[in-house]
Amino acid sequence: MSISPKTALLDEYALVARALSSPARLSLLEQLAQGERGVEGLAEKTGLTFANCSQHLQQLRRAALVTSRRDGKAVIYRMTDAKTLHLMDLLRIVAERNLEQVHQILRGLSGGMDAPEPVSRSDLAARIIGGDVIILDMRPADEYAAGHIPGAINTTLATLEGIIPGLAPDADIVAYCRGPYCIYAHQAVAALRRRGFNARRLDGGLPEWREDGHPVHVGLP
């Protein structure tokens, strides 16, 4: 029995939707938005077993959301194109607008307070030129070294307390991490605001910053 062209198209669209319908696969895409990685590295970053990670990556590849290449015996994956970033962000926007549970989780990350509006990427770029902002990169050191916003200080939630004494009390602070699904920036902003700092998170993360055409520094300071 043949199917109509419209049904065939909807089947293909649904293939992409099914690929996005797993927290594990969304986590893998978040990692690949930082840059290409091998299966072993992705498994370590996401807490998946090697076999489970490979299965999820195959589903993402069938939906053409990722591509792969061989490097010796290793298989290296990368995100197919930056449009996937926009799709992931739309998922976040729809969920935040319509799901009360999302609001409850985000309020929990902010210690029960309403989080301040994020700083736009264009605004941060202008403030970097003006030199009147402190930027905190909340990602692990290896991701920071692979690329970060120029001038950003690399720290983690575990080491944040150690750098607070060196921050000016009246400083404007912007924290960012991997992107719209990353919670480290939310948690850092909440911790800093509890200490009286004017802190906000960046709208998006390094992948979105890079996609906008803003400069990215590679390596350690």
Catalytic residue set: 177
Q: Angle, nearest 10°, between helix axes 50-62 and 39-46?
A: 110
> How is the beta sheet containing 134-137 ordered, strand by strand?
153-154, 134-137, 172-176, 198-201
DSSP annotation of 120 reads P
Q: For residue 111, what are the CA distances in angstroms to 34, 97, 194?
A: 28, 20, 9
Q: Which residues contact 58 (CB under 8 A, 6 or more apart)?
A: none
With residues binned 3-state (H G I as helix, E B as strand, rest as coil), the percentages for the chain, rounded to 5, are 50, 15, 35
Separation CA 192–CA 165 (nearest Å): 11
**Positions of E strands within the chain:** 37-38, 66-71, 74-79, 134-137, 153-154, 172-176, 198-201
Paired residues of 81 in beta bridges: none
* Of 184, 17, 200, residue with least CA distance to 94: 17
